[in-house]
């Protein structure tokens, strides 16, 4: 994987775009484990967000019936089209935060870290069987944190209301090029049974965590605007 990535960077004189979070995974064993954890069947459709130089995409294509790879950078798309002859991969150009996802069974991605939060909340709105995703370590730790942990946050609550989530591997920053300033981690998510999922108001949870040292009633009073309420609206509510 190391030689493949650097060969393509050299061949196309590619300068990774830090604004798009382009840190390419170059360790083959990490990619192999990521794919194995997805337990892909040849009848399944896989979504990949940010295919980079195609090393993960190539492994997904060998196992899946169909792969949708969403890429924003037109330079990367041209490289992928020239270098690979995939018959079951459809490259979708666009912003993953804005386009509607096609139907898919599983999502496997090395996510651009600057969109970790919004892309996670977007994915939680879709029906999928399993997600194997690489995040910044600190973000991953917040996803799996339990009540009482220092990392327990709005993210922890919103994610765990919908899915079972596990941090299964820590990845050193040297596994990427260019080398990021932080370590990473592999997260595996599987949706909870429908009767165990909890529908939460994101603004309500955000309001409570913004004032986490206060009583809930006081926290809500200080954050009524985040719930789309006026001060007059909030005054109409009676304590339970």
| Statement to judge: residues 150 and 72 lie in one domain | yes
Instruction: Tell me if 240 is assigned to some domain.
Output: no
Nearest to 90 by CA among 98, 102, 79: 102
DSSP state of 224: G
Residues 31, 67 share a domain: yes
The pLDDT of 3-15, averaged and rounded, is 95
Cβ-contact 133, 108 below 8 angstroms: yes
Quote the crossing angle between the two packed helices 28-38 and 55-63, to the nearest 10°.
40
- What mean pLDDT value characterizes the chain? 89
Place of tokens 């919004």: 118
Is the same domain home to 188 and 211? no
pLDDT mean over 101-111: 98
Residues 230 and 119 in one domain: no
225/120 same-domain check? no
Q: What is the pLDDT of residues 120-162, one digit of tens each?
A: 999 999 999 999 999 999 999 999 999 999 999 999 999 999 9
Parent domain of 212: 202-235
Task: Pull the structure tokens for residue 206.
Answer: 């955000």
- Looking at the predicted structure, is the pLDDT value of residue 233 above 60? no
Q: Which has more confidence, 211 or 11? A: 11
User: Are residues 220 and 123 both part of a single domain?
Assistant: no
Among 195, 41, 199, smallest CA distance to 105 is for: 41
In terms of domains, do 188 and 71 share one? yes
Alpha helices in the chain (DSSP H): 2-11, 28-38, 55-63, 74-83, 116-123, 137-144, 154-160, 202-210, 216-221, 231-235
Mark whether 182 and 211 lie in a shared domain: no
Collapsing DSSP states into helix, strand and coil, what is residue 162?
Answer: coil
pLDDT at position 206 is 52
188 and 209 in a common domain: no
* Pair 77, 182 in one domain: yes
Q: Report whether pLDDT(222) > 60.
A: no
**Please, which pLDDT band fits residue 234 given cuts at 50, 70 and 90?**
very low
Same domain flag for 87 and 179: yes
Do 157 and 224 reside in the same domain of the chain?
no
**Coil, strand or helix at 174:** helix
**pLDDT by residue (tens digit) across 24-74?**
999 999 999 999 999 999 999 999 999 999 999 999 999 999 999 999 999
pLDDT for residue 223:
47
Contact 171, 28 (CB under 8 A): no
Phi, psi of 38 (to 5 degrees): -75, -20
The predicted model gives 176-205 an average pLDDT of: 87
Number of domains observed in the structure of the chain: 2
């Amino acid at each position: 994987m190391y030689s493949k990535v650097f060969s393509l960077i050299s061949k196309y004189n590619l300068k990774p775009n830090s604004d798009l979070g382009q840190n390419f995974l170059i360790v083959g064993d990490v990619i192999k484990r990521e794919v194995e954890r997805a337990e892909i069947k040849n009848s399944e459709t896989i979504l990949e967000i940010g295919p980079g130089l195609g090393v993960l995409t190539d492994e997904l294509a060998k196992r899946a019936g169909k792969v949708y790879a969403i890429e924003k950078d037109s330079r990367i798309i041209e490289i992928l089209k020239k270098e690979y002859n995939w018959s079951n991969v459809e490259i979708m150009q666009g912003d993953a935060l804005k386009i509607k996802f096609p139907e898919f069974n599983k999502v496997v991605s090395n996510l651009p870290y600057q969109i970790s939060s919004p892309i996670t909340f977007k994915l939680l709105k879709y029906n999928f069987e399993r997600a194997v995703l690489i995040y910044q370590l600190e973000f991953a730790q917040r996803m799996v944190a339990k009540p009482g942990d220092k990392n327990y946050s709005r993210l922890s609550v919103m994610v765990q209301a919908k899915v079972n989530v596990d941090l299964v591997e820590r990845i050193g920053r040297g596994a990427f090029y260019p080398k990021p300033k932080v370590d990473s981690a592999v997260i595996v998510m599987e949706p909870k049974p429908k009767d165990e999922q909890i529908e939460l108001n994101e603004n309500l949870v955000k309001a409570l965590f913004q004032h986490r040292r206060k009583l809930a009633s006081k926290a809500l009073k200080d954050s009524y605007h985040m719930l789309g309420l006026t001060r007059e609206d909030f005054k109409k509510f009676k304590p339970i």
